Amino acid sequence: MRNLSFRSLRVLQRDADVYFTVWQSEFLPPLLEPILYVFGFGLGLGQLVHNVQYQGRTLSYLAFMAPGVLAVAIMFWAFFETTFSSYVRMYYQKTFDAILATPLLVEDVILGELLWGTTKAVIASTIMLGVLAVLGLVSWPTGLWVLPIAIMGGLLFSGFGLIMTSTVKTISQFNVPMFAFILPMFTFAGTFFPLDLLPGWALAVAWCLPLTHLALLVRSAVLGVAHPMLPVSVAYVLVVAIGLSAWALVRMKKRLIQ
């Protein structure tokens, strides 16, 4: 840990430079994704599900679902950046090797990747927040809390992603965490329907999932509605984000230095 330094920002800068070199293909998805979800799920499903009860309020299905879409985006962007993209940089492009030939140490590279995964999640959620705001689905000023929440959630799923990157032997093995963790969370973490619709045992499982807490935080911010679990969720996301990031540092270091 003592080798962590500000130099990791050089790695973040490098990744950001690539991002802005190929920005056309990077900018559009977070812009279009919520629009697709909103039109597809919101308008389509919204015909079937008219109103949702949430914390004593009656919401349109669209208003309920929109923050869930944002939470999912934080998870997806951080996870994909630190799995597939980091793996390409590490294994195919040998970018980490090139960086390690300079005064940067392996800890700088790993922290830089964590920060970049987090940054991608923040960029994507900012764009989406803008789109949702235009659609009139965001309550202000509580909506601004989405940014610090995206930082914590982005770090959490970046840490998780890098742990997977430190583990897989081939890039196709990312399908395993994808199906074992990411897709179940996508479906069952209270993103697309209220948690209390789940049977007891499933509810217990759902409360263990990081996305459940992240979605709760995002929904509280976007709707401006507090939830009794709010302090628990803040603590959960913070502790798990720091814990997974520290673990990712240890595991990636082992993978990169043999």
Partner 1 sequence: MTSEHAISAQNLVKRYGETEAVRGISFDVSPGEVVGFLGPNGAGKTTTVRMISCFLPPTSGTALVYGIDVRERPRDVKRILGICPQEDNLDPDFDVLKNLLVYGRYFGIPAAEVKRRAEPLLESMALLDRAKSPVAALSGGMKRRLILARALVNEPRVLVLDEPTTGLDPQARHAIWTRVRALRATGVTVLLTTHYMEEAAQLCDRVIVIDNGQVLLGGTPDELVRLEVGRSVIEVWNYGPDLAAALRELHGRLEEVGDRLYFYPEDEDAVERLLESRFPHQERLHRRATLEDVFLKLTGRALRD
Residues lying near partner 1 in the complex (CB under 8 A) are found at 7, 10, 13-14, 17-18, 21-22, 93-95, 97-105, 257-258
* Least CB distance to partner 1 at residue 110 (A): 15
C-beta of 100 vs 133, nearer to partner 1 = 100
60 bridge partner residues: 51
C-beta of 10 vs 227, nearer to partner 1 = 10
Burial of 145 (0-12, 13-18, 19+ CB in 10 A): middle
Q: Which amino acid is at 97?
A: D
C-beta of 114 vs 131, nearer to partner 1 = 114
d(C-alpha 45, C-alpha 68), whole Å:
15
* Least CB distance to partner 1 at residue 145 (A): 34
* Least CB distance to partner 1 at residue 10 (A): 5
d(C-alpha 68, C-alpha 22), whole Å:
28
C-beta of 57 vs 94, nearer to partner 1 = 94
- How far is the CA of 98 from the CAs of 21, 79, 94, 109, 158, in angstroms? 19, 24, 7, 11, 22
* Least CB distance to partner 1 at residue 94 (A): 4
User: Kindly report the CA angle at 115 between 86 and 254, in degrees rounded to 5?
Assistant: 55
